[in-house]
Structure 1
Amino acid sequence: MASSTPASSRAVRWLLWLAGTVSLALGLLGVVLPGLPTTPFVLLAAACYAKASPRLHGWLLQHRYLGPMVRDWETHRSLTRRTKTIAIASMVVMVGLSAWGFRERPWLLGGLLVAGLIGAVVVTRIPTRAPR
């Protein structure tokens, strides 16, 4: 009789891989979509990949643009004030530009502003550390 552990382990790995992939996609969308934060989604993807796929976790760690952020998080479990300032300033600029474009559509404008506020709150809640 076969044990249920390998099947459940496989299912858990698959779900973690799926969650990591969706998180990475959202993080990459956050680069261009106002109000959608990149950093928390990329870090969540790294955490999921660390459990589900060592190959994808290694790829993320070695990525030219995303790797330093992931390595820094895994080492310190916090972000520098500079990183947080850049993230929030980028969101403010993109939300501001998009808000101007949606000024004639109050529902979309409201949704955009709420999403931007949520993104800023998420980034500010990440622990801050002093620069080295």
Structure 2
Amino acid sequence: MRTLYLLLGLVAVALGTIGVFLPILPTVPFLLLAAFCFARSNPAWERRVIEHPRFGPPIQAWRERRAISRRGKTAALVALTASAAAGLLMLDSPWCYVPLAVALMCGSWIATRAE
């Protein structure tokens, strides 16, 4: 099981790293997943993720207070709004309402997290 968690953690770090360069792919959620997986497979790597100067503070804030920074919330809500608008413009009914529903549910959840 440790090997599976280690592999999942490595994949999550890879996706998070790609997310640094691609604005459509989130970084911190993948690094949260990596920290979770490394906690169960390789504590030294978990520590490296948590102590990272740029990505460690959001991970620590989430673990301690389930908090999302104002900047993170804003970015997520803007991306969700853009996705919902694109769905409404590009998809036929009734499928055009699926991105809107997802954006409303996820956006409501994100907006209610502590800062």
TM-score scaled by structure 2? 0.66
Contact 1:87 1:123 in 2 (8 A): no
Contact 1:61 1:70 in 2 (8 A): yes
Which one scores higher on RCO, CA 8 angstroms, separation ≥ 6?
1
User: Which of 38, 50, 68 is matched with 1:61 structurally?
Assistant: 50
For the pair 1:20 / 2:9, whether they are aligned, the reply is yes
Q: Which 4+ residue blocks in structure 1 deviate beyond 3 angstroms?
A: 86-89, 120-127
User: Which of 75, 78, 83 is matched with 2:64 structurally?
Assistant: 75
How do 1:1-132 and structure 2 match up within 5 A? Answer: 12-89=1-78, 91=79, 121=103, 124=107, 125-126=109-110, 128-129=113-114, 131=115
1:123–1:43 Cα change, 3 Å: farther
Gaps of 5+ in 1: 1-11, 96-109, 111-116
Q: Provide the C-alpha distance between the structure 2 equivalents of 1:85 and 1:15, rounded to a whole number of angstroms.
A: 34
Q: Provide the C-alpha distance between the structure 1 equivalents of 2:77 and 2:20, rounded to a whole number of angstroms.
A: 12
Contact 1:27 1:39 in 2 (8 A): yes
> What percentage of residue pairs aligned between the two structures are identical?
37
Give the secondary-structure state (helix, strand or coil) at the position aligned to 1:34: coil
Gaps of 5+ in 2: 84-90, 92-98
Q: Provide the C-alpha distance between the structure 1 equivalents of 2:14 and 2:74, rounded to a whole number of angstroms.
A: 23
Q: Provide the C-alpha distance between the structure 2 equivalents of 1:15 and 1:123, rounded to a whole number of angstroms.
A: 28
Q: CA RMSD in A?
A: 2.9
Instruction: Specify the code of the residue in structure 1 equivalent to 2:113.
Output: T
Q: How many residues in Structure 1 have an aligned counterpart in Structure 2?
A: 96
TM-score scaled by structure 1? 0.59
Q: CA deviation at 1:123?
A: 6.6
